[in-house]
Amino acid sequence: MRNKRKLPARGKPKVAVVVDGETEAWYLTMLNRNEPSSKFQIKPEIPQRKSLSEQYEKVDRLSKDYDQVIWIVDMDVILKETREARRGHPRPLEEFLKYMSHLNSISNVTVIINQPCIEIWFLLHFEFTQASFNDCVSAESRLKKYLKDYILEGFKGYLQSYGYAVYGQYGKQDGVTHLCCWAHARREFFDAQQNDRAKAELALTFIKKLYEVEAHCREKNLSSEDRKAYRLDKALPVLDAFSNWLKENYVQVLPKSAIGKAMAYTMTRWEELTNYLMDGMLEIDNNACENKIRPTALGRKNYLFAGSHDAAQRAAMIYSFFAMCKIEDVNPQQWLKFVFDHIMDTNIQKIKELLPKNYKLSLEINQDK
C-alpha cells in the first residue's frame, strides 16, 4: 500500500517538478501545451545537471510539502553516469531502480522517463516484478541474455542491425552472419560535414554509389542471383576503393573528432557492412525495420502525456490492435465494428476469435462459401 503523506489543505493543488536542466525547455513546452497553469500552482525545480542521487533526494524532500511531485528523468543522464561510474562504486542503474522502488510507495510522486530506450525499458519491465534489486546488472548484459534466451534462441542465419554492441556480440555466434546498416554508417559522415566537409562529402559520394547500385537492382526487378552478380560487378570495386581511402585518411584525422568517429564506426564494422554481398536477398540497410518503428519513435514524447497510467495502457492496447490490423491488411474501422457487434455474444474462452487475424480468416471463409 502506498504511503500517504499528510498535506495542508489548499485551493489549487501545489505541484513541484524536478527536471534535469537539459530537459527543461522540452518540459516547459509540453507543460504549457497540456496543463493550463490556471489549474495548478506549478513550481519547476531545475537542478541543472545534478546527479541522479541529488535529484532523488530533492524529489523525496519535496514530496513532504507538495500535493504532487513530478520527477522527469532523462535516460541520457542515467546512461552517461553508468558509463562514467568507476569500478567498485554503486552502479547508477542499480541505484535508480532502488529510487524507483521507494518512490513507487509514495502516492504523490510521479516519475516520467524522458526519451526511454530499449535498454532501460528492459530493466524497468523486468526488475519491477522482482522483490530484490541486489542482483541487478547492466542493461546491456540483460539485453544480451534476453536476446539469447528468448528472442534469438537457436537462431541461425543472417542477422541485420545497426551498430549497437549487443547485436555485435550475438553476431559472433556459430551459424549467425551479422550484417550492419549502411544508412547508419552514412549518417555518421553526414553529421561530420561540419567538422571536415571535404572528407565527409567524399565518403558520402562512395556510399551514394553503393545506393545507386541498389536503385538499379530495384528498377530492373533483378532476381536474387542477378542482384548478387550485379553487386559483385559494380558495388565491390566501390567498396574496395572506399576501404583503401578510409585506411589512408584515418591516420590524418583526430580519432575523437566527428570525422574520425565516423571513419572508425565504418572501419570497425567493415565486415558486417559488406556481408550483404553474400546473398542477393539481403538488403544494404535495415531501413525497412526502421520505417516500421518510426511512428513509435516520432510519438515517443507525446506518449508520456496520456492522462494517467491506466489511459496509457489502454492506448498501448489500441495501438497494438491497429498494428495487427495493418499487418493483416484489415480495415481497422470494419474490424472494430465487427468486435462491437460480437463481443457481447463471445465466450471469454473464445475471445481470441475476435483478433484481426481471425477476423480476416472468417471473412475469407465466408467468401469461399
Please name each of the domains of the chain with its CATH number. 14-143 (3.40.50), 159-289 (no CATH), 306-368 (no CATH)
Give the dihedral sign, CA 35/41/46/51. Answer: negative
Cα separation, 181 vs 160, in Å, equals 7
Cα separation, 85 vs 98, in Å, equals 17
Cα separation, 41 vs 57, in Å, equals 22
| Helix orientation angle between 224-250 and 258-268, rounded to the nearest 10 degrees | 130
Has this prediction a pTM greater than 0.75? no
Give the dihedral sign, CA 361/364/366/369. Answer: negative
Supply the DSSP symbol for 91.
P
Determine the distance from the C-alpha atom of residue 364 to the mean position of all C-alpha atoms in its chain, rounded to a whole number: 36
Supply the DSSP symbol for 160.
E
Would you say 38 and 22 are in contact if contact means Cβ atoms under 8 Å apart? no
> For 276, how many CA atoms within 13 A lie in the half-sphere containing its CB?
24
Supply the DSSP symbol for 89.
S
> Which ranges of the chain have pLDDT less than 70?
1-13, 19-50, 74-94, 112-153, 301, 368-369
pLDDT for residue 49: 54
Closest CA to 93 of 83, 103, 102, 106: 83
Cα separation, 25 vs 157, in Å, equals 45
Cα separation, 98 vs 136, in Å, equals 10
DSSP SS3 for 94:
helix
Residues contacting 358, CB < 8 A, separation 6+: 352
**Alpha helices, DSSP H, located in 128-257:** 139-146, 165-170, 182-191, 197-219, 224-250
> Hunting for cell 496543463 — which residue is that?
35
> Hunting for cell 583526430 — which residue is that?
254
Residues contacting 40, CB < 8 A, separation 6+: 12, 13, 14, 15
Interval 90-107: pLDDT, tens: 566 667 777 777 777 777
**Alpha helices, DSSP H, located in the chain:** 24-34, 52-62, 75-84, 92-103, 118-127, 139-146, 165-170, 182-191, 197-219, 224-250, 258-268, 270-274, 287-299, 309-328, 332-342, 356-368
pLDDT for residue 260: 95
Cα separation, 39 vs 138, in Å, equals 41
For the stretch 89-96, contacts whose Cβ atoms lie closer than 8 Å and that sit 24 or more positions apart, written own/partner, are: 91/136, 91/138, 92/52, 93/120, 93/123, 93/136, 93/138, 93/139, 94/133, 94/136, 95/52, 95/53, 96/52
DSSP SS3 for 302:
helix
